[in-house]
Amino acid sequence: NAGVTQTPKFQVLKTGQSMTLQCAQDMNHEYMSWYRQDPGMGLRLIHYSVGAGITDQGEVPNGYNVSRSTTEDFPLRLLSAAPSQTSVYFCASSYGHQGGWETQYFGPGTRLLVL
């Protein structure tokens, strides 16, 4: 199993540009989520999905869109990039989400710089 994969690893954008961060998992996990991590801080939840066709907002959703058309993929779209979105983005997945005991598997991250 490749686990959770993310592309690209690094990206530089200009203010106002749009892009999609890709996330895929091959573990048949129903739950997937996106976090961002700013320097010296913990991770903050952007959006999450409890299954194909179902998404919801996390703590910091503004400026981001998501969709979940398949179990495997959960792309994160930046509609109009802003310097405040400069961050490291992590995708995560887990088999379930309701029990309290489910562990999450994180991808290696995408480093985004918005100029």
Name the site residues for another protein (rule: CB under 8 A).
4, 31, 33, 35, 40-45, 48, 50, 58, 90, 92, 94, 96-109
Q: How far is the CB of 70 from another protein (least distance, A)?
A: 19
Query: Smaller CB distance to another protein: residue 14 or 100?
Result: 100
Query: Smaller CB distance to another protein: residue 17 or 97?
Result: 97
Q: How far is the CB of 39 from another protein (least distance, A)?
A: 11
Strands 64-66 and 76-78: antiparallel
Instruction: Dig out the tokens for 57 from the structure.
Output: 């907002």
Q: By the 8 A CB rule, do 74 and 92 touch?
A: no
Query: Smaller CB distance to another protein: residue 14 or 40?
Result: 40
Q: How far is the CB of 21 from another protein (least distance, A)?
A: 13
Cβ within 8 Å of residue 27, ≥6 positions away? 1, 3, 4, 93, 95, 105
Distance spanning both ends of the chain, measured CA to CA: 36
